[in-house]
Amino acid sequence: MRLSGQVALVTGGSRGIGRATALALAREGAAVAVLAWTAGGLDVAGRENVAAGAAVLAIPGDLAADGVADRAVEAVLAWRGRLDILVTAQGTGSFGAVEES
């Protein structure tokens, strides 16, 4: 448990790279806060991280909205009193022809 005692916040932590990163941090012993905009994704990510042995905090929100980043950090500090690791994996995308972008 190389990260025992460390506290991580992973944005976009319910899918893709963010989900894989949150699980890897949990397996290494970190307490993991997961920020994601879908409640279902937060539920799944939370269960997976708990199964990996981590203390988990699920934070709903979209980083594109004003104040969400500040509220997420405040929630982590209230939960564990510190933040050691920040992973920003939330992304957005648009789909369509290049000419329409």
Domain spans of the chain, in order of start: 14-29+37-62
Is the pLDDT confidence value at 92 over 70? no
Q: Which distant-in-sequence residues (6+ apart) come within 8 Å of 22 by Cβ?
A: 8, 10, 13, 32, 34, 45, 48, 49, 87
| 3-class SS letters over the chain | CCCCCCEEEEECCCCHHHHHHHHHHHHCCCEEEEEECCHHHHHHHHHHHHHCCCCEEEEECCCCCCCHHHHHHHHHHHHHCCCCEEEECCCCCCCCCHHHC
Max mean pLDDT range (15-24, 39-48, 67-76): 67-76
| Spatial separation of the C-alpha atoms in residues 18 and 11, rounded to whole Å | 7
Is the pLDDT confidence value at 66 over 70? yes
| Spatial separation of the C-alpha atoms in residues 69 and 5, rounded to whole Å | 23
The pLDDT tens digits for 22-32 are: 989 998 999 99
> What global pTM score does this model have?
0.82
